[in-house]
Structure 1
Amino acid sequence: MGDSFFVKLWPRLVRNEPPLVSELRRRNLAGLSGRVLEVGAGTGTNFPLYPADVTDVVALEPAAELRALAVRAADGDPRIEVRPERLDEYVPTSPFDAVVFSLVLCSLPDPEGAVRQVRELLVPDGELRFLEHVAARGGILEGVQKAADATVWPRVFGNCHAHRDAVGLISGAGLAVTTVEDRMLAPAWVPFPTSPLVLGRASAR
């Protein structure tokens, strides 16, 4: 199963994602300008949402099946370049005004290293925009997340780890977290592992 199953499943999931996620994607990109790096572009779901003030988007997507869909989604927008590298393989020609994470930090094999690299890729006062699954704190949901991460969840969903502290990882890498908004995809009494979401911004110091 693993990654091959996930890359077949993901296009269906994003076509049917909850309205709340679509709203948060839009807000995650609102107000961006200049040169942007998107990490883990998937099928290119974010591409139509980039503001007109964004001049260039370098979109990294190492999974070939997803990348083909992202290339199709970028067709007609000369600002967007879809590339096959992972973040740790990518060598930029110039720094970025912003980096975008959308539901990707949970699946990176070295999330701490990834955020440290982001800091190096940003211009002074550049910004990380993030929309991520986040670890629950206390209650049944925290236990469900930990159990899911220790069993089948990462194998089925492309190395997704539900119980990752996205905000802690970002601040621990030396970025200054400036805004955080916590949301839930489902009511608190529905213990779905990836229900807790965080929308936020962080700046390079």
Structure 2
Amino acid sequence: MQDLSRFQRPRFARAYERMSAESERSGTAGHRRRLLAGLSGRVVEIGAGNGMNFRHYPPEVREVVAVEPEDRLRSAAQRAAGGAMVPVSVVAGHDGALPVEDDGFDAAVVSLVLCSVPDQAAALAEVRRVLRPCGELRFYEHVRSSGPALGVLQDLVTPLWRLAAGGCHPNRDTARAITGSGLVIEDITRFTHRPVASTPALPHILGRARNPDA
């Protein structure tokens, strides 16, 4: 059994549950629907949080295995799984050592999680391990701005932001990390989104990448 003690952030988890409900109403729900549209087969969701994606999975999805390390959020995700239109099993685990088999999934989903994983390269290597050849990664993440002024500001606030926001790094170039992992980005949309009124509008990316057939 994995030791998940370093992932326990109960104070942040309580705040995240409140913020995620507000965020859904501010447009995040629509982004989640776009993220998951067209998926089918067997899906692994990495860092499922409190299960906000679950109700948006299309009926063509045969099974979702949702991995979440934080105890409070995982309990909330287990409750949310009961209202999903597709079968969802919620399991304890973390991005650096997913508790699932090699080549077992048609798709992997990450949403608002690659900002906070300890090691993006390790997490994306796990994505490649568990995806079947030609399987796809769906991603929805906030990222470092390509604008010089905002990008530098994000760099400056990251140390404090990371401490206050459960390890979140607002200055990560996640698209570059996905490409660097060997996944091939096939579609990407960049946009600005303010998830809750108490946070600034941040650059986001949403898209899909393919695991090479090799």
Deviation at 1:119, TM superposition (A): 0.9
Q: Give the C-alpha shift of residue 76 in structure 1.
A: 5.1
From 6, 15, 33, give the equivalent of 1:9.
Answer: 15
SS at 2:118's partner residue? coil
Distance in 1 (alpha carbons) for counterparts of 2:188 and 2:83: 34
Listed as ranges, the gaps of 5+ residues in structure 2 are 1-7
| Alignment partner, residue 129 of structure 2 | 120
Q: CA separation in 1, counterparts of 2:162 and 2:83?
A: 35
2:3 corresponds in structure 1 to: none
Partner SS state of residue 148, structure 1: helix
Match of 2:203 among 183, 186, 196: 196
Q: In 2, Cα distance between the equivalents of 1:19 and 1:36?
A: 26
2:40 pairs with 1:33: yes
Letter in 2 for 1:161: H
Deviation per CA, 1:60-102: give whole Å up to 9, x if none.
1111101111000011556100001112232324610000000
Q: Secondary structure at the match of 1:136?
A: coil
Q: Is the 8 A contact 1:135 1:165 kept in 2?
A: yes
**C-alpha offsets along residues 8-63 of structure 1, whole Å, 9 cap, x if unaligned?**
11000110005332211110000000000001111110001000010110001111
Q: Which moved more, 1:81-90 or 1:106-115?
A: 81-90
Contact 1:3 1:157 in 2 (8 A): no
Q: Which letter maps to 1:115?
A: L
1:145 to partner: Cα distance: 0.6
Instruction: Determine if contact 2:93/2:99 at 8 Å carries over to the other structure.
Output: no
Equivalent residue runs for 1:81-100 within 5 Å: 81-93=89-101, 95-100=104-109
1:102 aligns with 2:111: yes
The equivalent residue for 1:79 is 87
Q: Secondary structure at the match of 1:87?
A: coil
Give the match for residue 54 of structure 2.
47
- Normalised TM-score (structure 2): 0.87
Which segment drifts farther, 16-25 or 121-130?
16-25
What's the CA shift string for 1:97-148, capped at 9, x where partnerless? 0000000000000111111110111111100000001111234311221111
Give the letter for the 2:66 counterpart.
Answer: A
- 8 Å Cα contact 1:3-1:156 kept in structure 2: no
Superposed displacement of residue 202, structure 1: 0.2
Structure 1 partner of 2:174: 166
Matched residue, 1:61: 68
In structure 1, the residue matched to 2:4 is none
Q: Which amino acid aligns with 2:205?
A: V
With over 3 angstroms needed to count, the CA separation of the structure-2 counterparts of 1:13 and 1:158, relative to structure 1, is: same
1:10 aligned partner, one-letter code: Y
Q: How many residues align?
A: 198
Matches within 5 A, 1:172-191: 172-186=180-194
